[in-house]
Structure 1
């Protein structure tokens, strides 16, 4: 799943080498934390959060196939 998130985000940003995805499991839920270069935060979030919402939709759909509860945080 981290590879999927990295592949999507690296295509959007100007500094793909600064894209980092960490994974943490708490209470049966998997949390993915996405960290990007400060100048790329706006590109990942998008206008009114549309890009972030689209990324979350893809991640949730992939997790649904595996019956996992997922959360994506953008930092």
Structure 2
């Protein structure tokens, strides 16, 4: 089975939600346990990514984490939305 390109998956899921898709940037950081993908976008679009009570963010995390292969030695994927308000 082919490996999923997580960054392109995130970009394809997030871009239709944004009013300013040109401001989207995704950075990856890896440590011992996780591959962290940090989403930065225009401050006015942050609420669109989080959604009411975090429902949109939870759905994005579910899809991204579910796309990962289930090998025992693979790192877990974490999706973080940079909230510029805090």
For this structure pair, what is the TM-score category when the shorter chain's length is used for normalisation? Answer: over 0.9
Correspondence for 1:14: 19
Q: Report the TM-score when normalising by structure 1.
A: 0.92
Structure 1: where are the runs of 5+ without partners?
none
Q: How many residue pairs end up in the alignment?
A: 74
Higher helix share: 1
CA shift for structure 1 position 33: 0.3
Higher strand share: 1
Q: Report the TM-score when normalising by structure 2.
A: 0.81
- 1:43 and 1:7 mapped to 2: Cα distance? 15
Kindly report the root-mean-square deviation, in angstroms, between the aligned alpha carbons of the 2 structures: 1.1
- Rg larger for: 2
